Amino acid sequence: MNVLVIVLLIIVAIAVCVGAYAWLSPERKEIEEPLPPPNEPWKPDTAWTAQAGEEFATLSEAARCDLVFAVADLHDERADGLLIHALDDPSEPVALAAAHVLDKRGAADRVREHVKRHPGARAERIEETLSFLQ
């Protein structure tokens, strides 16, 4: 019987210690999230191809799509930046190709962020098409 009483006292002591720690421990400070940038009207931009080099600056729509899919196999920051800038291409198929590649790479959050920053019919079409492709 004495062993049982000792075990129960130890359990109670541990419970009191855990409760005291929980009661007296410092509270977690809330982290302030930065405000998202304000929505901007969408502006077409073909200058993103210049980042790949001067010879790419004057590519046709089909060639820009090919460039997007060629960059898809590169997994570095420069390729990611190029794909993000390709979302602003005046050609919707090029922007959709870039969104598709980013989505397949696991950067769907960056596409959603871009779509939220540039709301409109084009953003809705890109979002709908990506949902169909999944």
Residues 15-54 have pLDDT tens digits of 999 888 888 777 777 778 887 777 777 676 666 666 655 6
Number of compact structural domains in the chain: 1
* Residues 68 and 83 sit within 8 Å (Cβ to Cβ): yes
Please check whether residue 16 lies inside any domain of the structure.
no
Asked if residue 115 belongs to a domain, the reply is yes
Residue 60 in domain: yes
Domain hosting 106: range is 47-133
- CA nearest to 99, candidates 120, 69, 63, 61: 69
**Strand ranges (E), the chain:** none
Residues 99-112 have pLDDT tens digits of 888 888 887 888 88
In a domain, 1, yes or no: no
Q: Is residue 86 within 8 Å of 48, Cβ to Cβ?
A: yes
CA distance linking residue 18 with residue 15, whole number of Å:
5
* Residue with tokens 């019919």, as numbered in its chain: 121
User: Which one-letter DSSP state was computed for residue 120?
Assistant: S
Any domain includes 82: yes
Domain annotation covers residue 29: no
Domain annotation covers residue 3: no
Task: Tell me whether residue 57 is in a domain.
Answer: yes
